[in-house]
Structure 1
């Protein structure tokens, strides 16, 4: 697991990095709009426009997410895969998503199709990003998965049953909430960009609380905030 990194370059920005990183955290961690973040900062006496918050999220959100992804331990060897249809400007787009057996998001990809070619592209993206091969993949009964698996992952066990795939189906829920908050997504590119940052940042601050005691949960959350400060370059005064 990667432990050291170079903090993002904040040169030329008028606001301190503590404010920038906090605004980005608010937007990606909670179901907030840019205007909501603007108002929360205003309550603390920080006058910043929602357009500035938008630019901060576009500029720094993905770099924060990439660093968090690099720092996490290797994910599980059972991959749950599913696809959900999004309507963007009246056109259907397919959001492909994969999670491991613990619910960690492994990758997402927005495409216009749900055929074998699209499934193979999704498999290749996962393998390139994760750099290891799963032991088992679990999907619904879409035939494209089987055809793609035979070519890309020939030695991997494949289980196809809708009831086995609740793990990944549940992981679509935060996306639906954000889609509603954002009054629908505007383009496939926007969905891909937003979810690529939203997934790692949001999930970093959401340990599986139902399995933890209160003291253990607080300790884990404190550790994750410390990691966030390292990623964003914030130095807390002790």
Structure 2
């Protein structure tokens, strides 16, 4: 049975879906990620601060040129060691190396790039990184709605699930006509039904 209510008319947001599938959320997100094409060759990286129990942490995010979220990581700092850790995690998780990375002017990126991705082109310019910055907006909305996160682990788990499901159920509506949007959502909801049905099946010993 689908986790999306039959009354869906294109106005449900992924977090509302997540509230109905908290038990299987990560499995759903993993299933959707496996169906995505390989990431593009241009990666946009950015970091923003978030408050966890009143303490400032940093959320690192990477998206490709199509806006697909490649990975997120909550860390205590945004220094060279943190950037290096994120670079290595990205390449391990995606099993690929980009053609170019785009970041803001944070010096930690340049230092880590020289050590971990020295063969990759690096563009550092505030105005070039809007794609990664825009990708933070849904997270900010959830952070406000949830009145912050209670622990690093809880934030990492929720945001990992959220970033896996949210893009699937939120296509770029502003780039589509109404009929195109309906057709696209029909396809995406059919995929969602397949993912949720498979993930919710009881496992046998």
Gaps of 5+ in 2: 199-205
1:211 offset after TM fit, Å?
2.3
2:147 to 170, 180, 183: 183
Alignment of 1:210 with 2:174, yes or no, is: yes
Alignment match, 1:22: 4
The count of residues paired between Structure 1 and Structure 2 equals 193
Task: Identify the residue that residue 192 of structure 1 maps to in structure 2.
Answer: 156
CA contact (8 A) 1:33 1:181 kept: no
Query: Could you give the per-residue CA deviations for residues 169-225 of structure 1, whole angstroms, max 9, x where no partner exists?
Result: 111111111011111111111111001110121100122222223222221111111
1:105 shift after superposition: 0.9
How large is the RMSD of aligned CA atoms in angstroms?
2.1
TM-score, structure 1 normalization: 0.76
Distance 1:180 1:33, change over 3 A: farther
Structure 1 distance, partners of 2:30, 2:16, is 21
CA distance in 1, matches of 2:123, 2:188: 34
Structure of larger gyration radius: 1
Cα separation, 1, equivalents of 2:109 and 2:175: 32
Corresponding residue SS for 1:203: helix
Structure scoring higher RCO (CA < 8 A, sep ≥ 6) equals 2
Partner of 1:96: 60
Query: 3-state DSSP class of the match of 2:4?
Result: helix
